[in-house]
Structure 1
Amino acid sequence: MTTNDAHVYDSPEGWVADHIQRYVETNGEEGHHWNGVPTLLLTTKGRKSGKLRRTALIYGTSGSSYVVVASKGGDENHPAWYLNLTENPEVAVQVGADDFVAMARTADESEKPELWQMMCQIWPAYEEYQSKTDRPIPLVVLEPVQSEAS
């Protein structure tokens, strides 16, 4: 997935859109760390519209992969970005100044407990979010794709 020449639609949530704008304008100098935690920008392809959609998410790392939480603050429904990547798993990611393509997948049941614990150490509110909903909150693993030029 390339976002260089395509129009990308940022989160409709005002404060998230502001965060994304600062992140992009400063190449991650502002916004990579938000409220004491690391954040990345995730761009997915809309499953219905085909438009590129970008949001900012708290992340952790597991090996060379990045882990994000599809919590939507404990809402009963999955966030749109999660639904998008389940249909189109090739995503664009920006971590600080680094832009790359990744393949997204939902963490399987064998790896989820350890990843969930890691993410709750980074952002303890995830436990509260899970208690507010009956849906199991998915964890998403973003595995960078090596370009042929590497």
Structure 2
Amino acid sequence: MSTNASRPGGGWNDKVIDEFRANQGNVGGPFAGAPMILIHHRGARSGLERVNPLVYLPDGGEMVIAATKGGAPTNPDWYHNLKAHPRITAEVGTETFTVDATEITGSERDELWRRMVELRPGFADYETKTSRVFPVFRLTRVDAGA
């Protein structure tokens, strides 16, 4: 498990992560009612484990996340980490399991992004802040024997 020192975003992410774990995956404030996930990923250069809280889109038995970074002009660090090390650990509710992260492109990406905005309309505001197309990842659970 990560220490607080390895969590990007400092205190804000720490508070969200702690609230997530204390409330079986539920978080209040701007995330109230949103499906939340904690992704554990390895730094592309450092190799250190990082943890990020994210809103996800349930898609069948899979989860979809988007690298919005609040509409910043650059991708979040976790994007580069998932590209370098796509097998990660996820926490959803009280469960922790391994997933493979696959970047989705083209019309499938566009449809998943549309559904994410439908789920969380605030995501549409992020698009007004940048010309960047937000990368979208599908997280597929890995069987225990894989």
Q: Same fold (TM over 0.5)?
A: yes
In 2, the alpha carbon distance for the partners of 1:16 and 1:134 equals 26
Choose between structure 1 and 2: higher helix proportion: 2
Amino acid at match of 1:108: T
In 2, the alpha carbon distance for the partners of 1:18 and 1:81 equals 18
Give CA deviations for 1:52-92 in whole Å, capped at 9, x if unaligned: 00010001111211011100011011000111101110111
Secondary structure, aligned partner of 1:37: coil
Which residue matches 2:81?
84
In 2, the alpha carbon distance for the partners of 1:36 and 1:100 equals 22
5 Å-filtered alignment, 1:1-150, equals 3=1, 7=3, 9-28=6-25, 30-31=26-27, 34-148=31-145
Q: Structure 1 runs of 4+ off > 3 angstroms?
A: none
In 1, the alpha carbon distance for the partners of 2:21 and 2:47 equals 22
Amino acid at match of 2:68: S
Q: Is the 8 A contact 2:100 2:139 kept in 1?
A: yes
Q: Is the 8 A contact 1:32 1:39 kept in 2?
A: no
In 1, the alpha carbon distance for the partners of 2:27 and 2:86 equals 25
Q: When the two structures are aligned, how many residues end up with a matched partner?
A: 144
In 1, the alpha carbon distance for the partners of 2:33 and 2:54 equals 13
Q: Give the unaligned 5+ runs of structure 2.
A: none
The alignment's TM-score, normalised by the length of structure 2, stands at: 0.88
The alignment's TM-score, normalised by the length of structure 1, stands at: 0.86
Q: Give the unaligned 5+ runs of structure 1.
A: none
In 1, the alpha carbon distance for the partners of 2:52 and 2:44 equals 15
**By how many angstroms is 1:108 displaced?**
2.0
